Amino acid sequence: MTLDVPSCLSIANHIRYWDGIHAQDGEDFSHDALLEMMERAMRNGGGLSDKEMWRATRCVRSRYRRAYGKSPLSLNTPIRGTEEPIELQETIADKAAVDLDAWVDARTRLEQLPFGIRLIARKLEKGDPLTREQQARLVHFRQDGKPNPHRMYLINRYRDRRSRGLCVRCGEKNDGFAHCPRCREIFRAFQKRYRRRKGQAWLQTMRVHWRKQGRCSRCGRAPDPGRSKCSSCLAKDREYLRRWRERQTGVYRESSGSAG
């Protein structure tokens, strides 16, 4: 059993994206998680299961949070290696142009916003494209720099009905789910139509975005040297080509037998 490096990087990037690892620490976090998995694989005999990969990455995430919490960055932190004691804030070229109070207020307000808006903010920070639904939600959410009152009313109504065990769509008594059986069927039908109409178009958009960034045009991972796809996708393509050739060979044999 060998260690699947693309799967390890995929798990590390997933936790890095969803658990709020700082953008400047993202690559270091992924490398530390990969090294942790390799060390555990060596102790385990050369391989790790998916569950053990997730556990190793979460351990690295815990160490990252403990280290960040114990030594927070401060502008009053003295810089080592200088003849005279110099604080970090003295190295800023134009301190008047940096409104720290406004930045802290914006960061605090962002943490209080709904999860969907925080997800949009993370994608904008990383430069990832937004879906049409996310673009529409961002437009409706913005209103003179304040949350849309109708949108906040819907969010509060959802939370209130969810806490009382009611259907979040119609408000009727529910059996523990977010939607009642009738609304659940309606929602499933909507999801099915959405995947059929929008799924392929959005996947094509993401593949174009990945190709421009030099990533694998199929899954978004780091490609092999000199290739446009990663090793996992190349293996899938080779397997698909092998099956296609087998089908073509079988069809040719059947046609030759019937002709004879």
What is the number of alpha carbons within 13 Å of residue 187 lying toward its C-beta? 12
**pLDDT at residue 189 in the model:** 86
In a domain, 82, yes or no: no
Least confident of 9-13, 40-44, 179-183, 194-198: 194-198
Residue 255 has pLDDT above 50, yes or no: yes
Q: Which residue has the higher pLDDT, 260 or 117?
A: 117
Average pLDDT over residues 113-117: 75
Q: How confident is the model at residue 72 (pLDDT cuts 50, 70, 90)?
A: very low
In a domain, 29, yes or no: yes
Q: How confident is the model at residue 101 (pLDDT cuts 50, 70, 90)?
A: low
In a domain, 149, yes or no: no
Beta carbons of 32 and 39 less than 8 angstroms apart: no
Q: Which of 74, 107, 132 is the last residue of a domain?
A: 74
Residue linked to tokens 């916003």: 113
In a domain, 69, yes or no: yes
Cα–chain center distance at 46:
28
> Which residue type, as a one-letter code, is found at position 48?
L
Distance CA 202, CA 45 (A): 41
In a domain, 245, yes or no: yes
Distance CA 34, CA 57 (A): 8
Q: Which of 57, 74, 91 is the last residue of a domain?
A: 74
pTM above 0.75, yes or no: no
Distance CA 197, CA 189 (A): 12
Range of the domain at 9: 1-74
Average pLDDT over residues 148-169: 83
Q: What are phi and psi of 148, to 5 degrees?
A: -65, 125
Distance CA 146, CA 258 (A): 74
Average pLDDT, the chain: 76
The tally of domains found in the chain comes to 2
Residue 83 has pLDDT above 70, yes or no: no
Residue 160 has pLDDT above 50, yes or no: yes
Q: Which residue has the higher pLDDT, 86 or 17?
A: 17
**pLDDT at residue 5 in the model:** 76
Q: Which of 47, 74, 101 is the last residue of a domain?
A: 74
